[in-house]
Amino acid sequence: MGKVWFVGAGPGAPDLITVRGTRLLASAGAILYTGSLVAETVLEWAAEGCEIADSKTMELTQVTDWLLTRAARHQTVVRLQTGDPTLYGVVAELARPLDAVGIEVGIVPGVSSAMASAAAAGECLTLPEVTQTVIFTRLAGRTAMPQAEALADLAKHHCTLCIFLSIERIATVAETLTEAGWTPEARVVVVHKATWPGEELVLRGRLRDIAGRCADAGIVRQAMILVGPALGARQRPAGVTSKLYDAGFERRFRGKGWRG
């Protein structure tokens, strides 16, 4: 039996997949990708003659059956997923049937859309003595949220929030954060299809107007919502600086009195 690899395709741009990911695509005998989310340009790394299928119309059992049958035929099988496989994916559900019959499974991380969105917007998610915490979360939908993880509760931390899978209810997001004590003037960045060639769109606004801006731009899916006190730091007066390059900050490779 072959080995099945769950590979993160990254956020969209074909050159943002990892080197390890490209090598596996090049050596794979079969690739199953999520066509509704993964840019087909990533498949340019696949070898000629590789068996490639799109899972966007498949149910869970069809996906697992596909992986099982291809692992019996090929040494390397790749399940290519958007972003990072371990975040908002179904690796556990897909790996259980493979584990049950002794098929080896590997996971290759990918660039998350949260990081890609921050980069596309030229933003930092953390800032010294302003926020040092980033929360990845989403609104409850067909998948319920654990009771202690409601957005209204998480928002009370007033740290950076990367809100996935919620753009179609951006008005609810803004309302929830405002009710949790965020000012209506809090900065919001929405990034649609971060790094997708020719499709990326960065939209900036405030909690009070971001829903209208998204509606005007027609952004209703495949977008990341970033909210937090670090946004816009490059346009604001410098605050507390990092200790990393502070001349008075001793560390392993820099003794007392270091001057650069």
pLDDT in tens, 211-235: 999 999 999 999 999 999 999 998 8
The pLDDT score that the predictor gives to residue 37 is 75
According to the per-residue pLDDT averaged within each range, which of 33-42, 105-114, 139-148 is highest?
A: 105-114
The pLDDT score that the predictor gives to residue 99 is 97
For 146-201, write each residue's pLDDT tens digit: 989 999 999 999 999 999 999 999 999 999 999 999 999 999 999 999 999 899 99
SS3 44: helix
Residue 260 has pLDDT above 60, yes or no: no
Q: How far apart are CA 14 and CA 106, in angstroms?
A: 21
The strand pairing partners of 105, in sequence order, are: 4
Residue 84 has pLDDT above 80, yes or no: yes
Q: Which of 230 and 252 is assigned the larger pLDDT?
A: 230
Residue 96 has pLDDT above 80, yes or no: yes
Q: How far apart are CA 187 and CA 75, in angstroms?
A: 49
b/e code 189-225 from CB counts within 10 Å (16+ = b): bbbbbbbbeeebeebbbebeebbebbeeeebeebbbb
- Enter the pTM of the model: 0.89
List the domains of the chain with CATH numbers.
Answer: 3-108 (3.40.1010.10), 113-235 (3.30.950.10)
